[in-house]
Structure 1
Amino acid sequence: MEALSAIAAHDEVPGVFAPAAPAGAGSADLPFARLVSEGLHAVDAQLKTSQTDLQQLALGEALNLHEVMIRLEESRIAFQLMLQVRNRVLEAYQDVMKMQV
C-alpha cells in the first residue's frame, strides 16, 4: 500500500516551464524575459534537488531509489529541453542577424 501511495505522489508532475500565473492574468501578460527567467530558475531548482538526492543516495540516506531515479530523469529531460530551447533561440537570432536591411 505504501508503494502505491508513493507512485500516486508522482501522478501530477508540475510543468517545468509553466510558471504560476496570478489569478486572472494570462501568460500573454508576462514579458518574455520573465518567462525565460522563471523557466531557468525552475530547471536550476530541479538540478539542485537531484544533486541533493544523489548525495543522500551516496550516503545511504535515500529511502526510495526509484523516486531518486525518477527525479534524476525529470531533471535530465528538463535540462535537455532548456538546451534545445536555447539552441532554437540562438539559431533564430543568427538568422535575423544574417538578414540584409
Structure 2
Amino acid sequence: MPVNSVSMMGPTTIQQPVKPTLHTQPYEAQQNFAATLKDAIANVNAQQITSDAMTNRLINGGNVELHDVMIASQKASVTLNATIEVRNKVIEAYQEIMRMSV
C-alpha cells in the first residue's frame, strides 16, 4: 500500500486562479463570482457525499479502512465549517454596508 504525503497547509483541491482583466464588465464579474461560488459549494457537497458513502460501506462491512473513513469525515467537517464561517463573514460585511449612511 503506497503512503501519500500529508500536508497541513495544502488545499484539498487546486482551484485555477481567475485571471483578472482590466475591462471586466459587471455582468461577467457576476457570472465569474457565481460560478466560483457554485464550484465551492459543489466541492463541499462532494466531500459530504464521499464521507457518507464511506461511512455506509464501513457499517455494511465493506472493504474500507476505519482511518480512511475518519479522514473523509474530518475533511467533510472542516470544509463545511469553513464554508459556514465564510458565509457568516459575508453576512456581517453585508450588514455593515447596509448600516453605512450615504
Please tell me the TM-score bracket, short chain as reference: 0.7 to 0.9
Q: Which moved more, 1:67-76 or 1:54-63?
A: 54-63
Contact 1:56 1:62 in 2 (8 A): yes
Name the structure 2 match of 1:41.
42
RMSD of the alignment, in Å? 2.3
Q: Compute the displacement of 1:12 (Å).
A: 6.8
Q: Normalising to structure 1: TM-score of the pair?
A: 0.76
1:64 aligns with 2:65: yes
Aligned partner of residue 15 in structure 1, secondary structure: coil
Q: Compute the displacement of 1:68 (Å).
A: 0.9
Higher normalized helix content (fraction of residues): 1
2:11 to 6, 11, 15: 15
Q: Which segments of 5 or more consecutive residues in structure 1 lack a partner in the other structure?
A: none
Q: Compute the displacement of 1:36 (Å).
A: 1.1
Q: Normalising to structure 2: TM-score of the pair?
A: 0.76
Letter in 1 for 2:98: M
1:27 aligns with 2:28: no
Name the structure 1 match of 2:26.
none
Q: Which segments of 5 or more consecutive residues in structure 2 lack a partner in the other structure?
A: 21-28
Name the structure 1 match of 2:90.
89
Q: Compute the displacement of 1:84 (Å).
A: 0.4
Name the structure 1 match of 2:52.
51
Contact 1:50 1:75 in 2 (8 A): yes
Identity percentage over the alignment?
27
Aligned partner of residue 73 in structure 1, secondary structure: helix
Provide the rounded CA distance (Å) in 1 between the counterparts of 2:13 and 2:35: 11
Provide the aligned length of Structure 1 versus Structure 2. Answer: 91
